[in-house]
Structure 1
């Protein structure tokens, strides 16, 4: 009698026992379960072809099998099928996990033995979260893990492209819109072996998810995939049920189209032979809120982003990028005023205020997303951080035109003056496609200026920050408080600044800038240069005045004056 006529409609419980890999040999038949459509796993006949010794690493064998049945023979080995449990004589033998060849005419797959997966379930200790992903023994050549697509629900193709560019080492195939989130959708069916399960990176008004299949399920834990998603080791990712809308056959890239549904716990381990989840455990998430105003109806996007070092900064960045595209008011010429607040437990908030406009480097929404992502990364990736990020709140005002201006020239109304005098700086600004603007800035010189030549820097905020926040000596990283202080002291880029370049020493110590130091103090600080805690400069930057220009300003100029 053909093996498939004896297949049970539902998989045995995980308490049915384990079929050891040592007892497996060519010619055996088993049953695998996966969801092709809906939520109910369907059986497939599995013909054992033999063992591939050391295919997954030293002492880690892979079971080679051929799938039989109308559906697997039509669809082939499908992305999202990873983790589909395989039973022999009613006992759990392993999980479908590997694809053999690129364009195979037969549904031949590699099976991860269940003994190797149970090691992940039984792990008591974890390695630090900073652990980088490492490759498995079967990621190159004709044997590859069955793909686990990273589905971007609500994101454009441009957002997915930005993600791929900034997370090249994640090893997941990112796709836009083939599936989605169902936060309000209830799925009454319990998770059983063969059910589709999803891990979320972002949830809320936008969603990023990865879906595979549950292999082993007990009252507290489950195992899925049969291979890593990221292999980050310890993780904290929301674990949800999933509904398969359809399975798309393709000789190039067959995959399941999936909606995520109820959150049931958290994935806590992502290892070489399985990902492990715990029921009823909440994942660590960072609330992100985007307030978008300007032309059109104000909108808000409410998101939660996973708290995972290798993922979070890019997830925040791509979410901001997509939020700025979600409007009929978006155009290639749109500019933005971006005000963001990053709150972290135990520290004062980081408050940032920038004008962002399109340039030859790219559209404003991309520049704004990269800017928010960069500032967030400086805080989030700080090696000294030990407390969680509480929230990220971004308010964005859209302006339907390109607000850029270039400093064309600057002059002083007088070139000879006395200490304490007020001089007027006349600056000429050339806006994008607009009339030239003349700006007058009264500047009071310090009464303590010595006689002789002095220089004034006329510039945007970025040029001033480069003087006041030079790179740390020896490449040392600032601690959290110093990083927050430095971020909060950044100068907005929509103002024109006048800065005195005084002929006196300036020191930068642990992120703090000390201008106009007496020679005696500069000499006293000199020993700090030996352990890279001090940067000394022979010229001090002293901001004197600024004026708003209502545009993202570029350019700088130095004026030479004489004090008598």
Structure 2
């Protein structure tokens, strides 16, 4: 009986604690908020300990063009330590009498950092339903001036960054930025990342990796939170604060992150290492912690997500082997499923892995193989291989096919592709495996239709002995008498010749591409940089003294019809350069006798 009563008591206690955990936060509506009211805010300054700071309502900005806001002044020991409202405090919940009024969302750079604006919780709750879509206007003309110190303000300007405004009666407000912390990426790879995010006004700064110091934090109002774009051996995360939680639903930031509407970001807890003071705006230096769930909405009033539900991501595996150092590195990471972000995030990550492995910038040869899996791709996969050489930056050069293939897939005009997995493998050596196409010799000067001609092609590798390649080409049976051109291209030159604006126009008409499958097929038909391409083409001599426009048009049509008659492709171990041409005469067999 005692055991039974004890079990019942434990169960009742668990139910009680559960009810406490999921109890909704009491809300104070904006109509109840008055100037002079005092309350508290919550945030994390170090580790994952939630601390409180003092808040006083200065003014309530209602019925303005755009979103309603609450102007506040912060104070207390916490604010003295931070130097004011800091980057990373966005989303910090503010309470009056224990009731939530909203989240710290906006502050002033290069000004009094203790003054800020709170996004009303009612506007943030709308994100869950998305039935009210409000936008922040560039300028709010205040119905009644606001007096702070000895200054009186009649307007508020909203800017993405610090901005000079020649108007003494105006305040310039900026979102309390969410620091974009990166780890495992630096130098030019970080610069590339910053360039890809330039339109979002985000500047990556180096923080820590996934924190091993963090305990298993239960996200609650005031907790530090990370929105991750990349997770794994490389991390790219925006740090902010949780505003509100209702069961597994959360709100944070109090302003947009990337303003992308419905999204698919990784939601993690965060660990704050240090507060960094700054004249421009103080900021938190932090790291993402344990993966907690998904961010599903990125709207004007903040971000919304769910704990214990997880987003679709794109796994990226990068394998680099440096033959000179006999060094191999393998990186594994997850990237958010976003057509606009994957290219910049993935290319920056791959460049970083290559740079870290070879530990230099300069010449070299690289063999690259790429596998991209996606749900709408032919056979659900694209596989590419190529050889690259660069005299000054082999790491960046070797990304060419990777960037082209991602762009082709993600921005194709036919259908949306959800990527499932990406593998990038690269072998690098400093040796210059490059060769010039130096000479072509044909074994015959005259040839009959249906016969073969053998071309001996001489290659001159860099600082190595000459190499010869012999290729037999069959002359078409139905070819007319006359001159025939034998063209020898490097794979790169053959691709350039095919995809000039004029050739692209002819190719698109001929292929009449109507699907993603056809588009991928055409793309994969490109020659590799280490291939010799031998083409037969009819010789064409334009008529002299063409003056009539109609005759010129007919002449252009004739040239368009002079397509290659045959093509042979030969693989080599070198990145090839150059192009050559020889002529051969086509005559009947009787004439040869």
TM > 0.5: yes
Structure 1 equivalent of residue 169 of structure 2: none
| 1:332 to 1:262, Cα distance in 2 relative to 1, 3 A | same
Matched, 1:487 2:487: no
Larger Rg: 2
Structure 2 match to 1:454: 484
Which one of 443, 446, 470 corresponds to residue 441 of structure 1? 470
- The match for 2:100 is 92
Matched residues in 1 for 2:233 and 2:186: separation? 14
**Which of 398, 401, 407 pairs up with 2:428?**
398
Listed one character per residue, the Cα deviations across residues 236-268 of structure 1 (whole Å, up to 9, x for unaligned) are: 111111111111111134221112111111000
Does 1:351 pair with 2:379?
no
| 1:163-213 Cα deviation digits (max 9, x unpaired) | 2233432322222x322224x776323111111111111112212111111
Please give the alpha-carbon distance, in whole angstroms, between the structure 2 residues aligned to 1:287 and 1:125: 35
Compared CA separation, residues 254 and 541, structure 1 to 2 (3 A): farther
Q: Give the structure 1 partner of residue 318 of structure 2.
A: 290
Query: Alignment partner for residue 233 of structure 1, among 226, 237, 261?
Result: 261
Tell me if structure 2 keeps the 8 A contact 1:496–1:546: yes
Task: Report if aligned partners of 1:63, 1:112 keep a CA contact under 8 Å in 2.
Answer: yes
Aligned runs of 1:259-408 on 2, under 5 Å?
Answer: 259-295=287-323, 296-328=326-358, 330-345=360-375, 347-348=378-379, 349-359=381-391, 363-408=393-438
Q: 1:73 aligns with which of 80, 105, 108?
A: 80
CA distance in 1, matches of 2:523, 2:350: 19
Q: Which residue is equivalent to 1:257?
A: 285
Contact 2:194 2:204 in 1 (8 A): yes
2:42 alignment counterpart: 33
Distance 1:185 1:136, change over 3 A: farther
1:116-131 to structure 2, matched below 5 A, reads 116-123=123-130
Q: Secondary structure at the match of 1:339?
A: strand
Kindly indicate whether the alpha-carbon contact (under 8 Å) linking 1:290 and 1:301 is maintained by their aligned counterparts in 2: yes
* TM-superposed deviation, 1:276: 0.5
Shift of 1:411: 5.0
Would the alpha carbon gap of residues 49 and 337 (structure 1) be closer, same or farther in structure 2, given more than 3 Å must change?
same
Pair 1:186–1:33, CA change in 2 (3 A):
closer
Aligned to 1:107: 114
Q: How many residues align?
A: 507
Conserved 8 A contact 1:67-1:107: yes
Structure 1 match to 2:219: 191
User: Which structure has more helix as a fraction of its residues?
Assistant: 2
Distance 1:408 1:171, change over 3 A: farther
SS in 2 for 1:282: coil
Q: Alignment RMSD, CA only?
A: 2.9
Indicate the SS of the match to 1:377: helix
Quote how far apart the aligned CAs of 1:61 are.
Answer: 2.1
Q: TM-score, normalised by structure 1?
A: 0.82
- Say if 1:73 and 1:106, in contact at 8 Å, map to a contact too: no
**Alignment TM-score, normalising by the size of structure 2:** 0.79
Instruction: Extract unaligned runs of 5+ from structure 1.
Output: 1-11, 127-133, 505-535
Q: Distance in 2 between matches of 1:454 and 1:493?
A: 26
Please give the alpha-carbon distance, in whole angstroms, between the structure 2 residues aligned to 1:417 and 1:301.
56
Structure 1 residues 152 and 369, CA gap change in structure 2 (3 angstroms)? farther
Q: Which residue of the partner structure matches residue 64 of structure 1?
A: 71
Please say if residues 83 and 226 of structure 1, whose CA atoms lie closer than 8 Å, have aligned partners that are also in contact.
yes
Secondary structure class of the residue paired with 2:198: coil
**Partner of 2:207 in structure 1?**
178
For 2:318 and 2:66, the matched residues in 1 are separated by 50
CA distance in 1, matches of 2:418, 2:225: 27
Distance between the aligned counterparts of 1:231 and 1:122, measured in 2?
17
Correspondent of 1:45 among 51, 54, 60:
54
Partners of 1:53 and 1:405 lie apart in 2 by: 71
Q: Identify unmatched segments of 5+ residues in structure 2.
A: 1-20, 139-157, 164-171, 541-558, 588-593
Matched-pair contact (CA < 8 Å) for 1:151–1:174:
yes
Closer, same or farther: CA 464–86 of 1 in aligned 2, 3 Å: same
SS at 1:103 equivalent: coil
In the aligned structure 2, how far is the partner of 1:410 from the partner of 1:285? Answer: 51
Answer whether contact 1:79 1:256 (CA < 8 A) is retained.
yes
* 1:63–1:110 CA contact under 8 A, matched in 2: yes
Cα–Cα, structure 1 residues 421 and 157, in superposed 2: closer, same or farther, change >3 Å? same
**TM-fit CA distance, 1:483:** 2.5
What does residue 204 of structure 1 align with? 232
Q: 1:508 maps to what in 2? A: none
Which deviations, in whole Å up to 9, do the C-alpha atoms of 1:63-88 show, x marking residues without a partner?
12221123323433211111111111
CA contact (8 A) 2:531 2:571 kept: yes
Counterparts of 1:220 and 1:70, CA distance in 2: 32
Deviation of 1:416 (Å): 3.4
On the 8 A contact 1:53/1:59 being kept in 2, the answer is: no
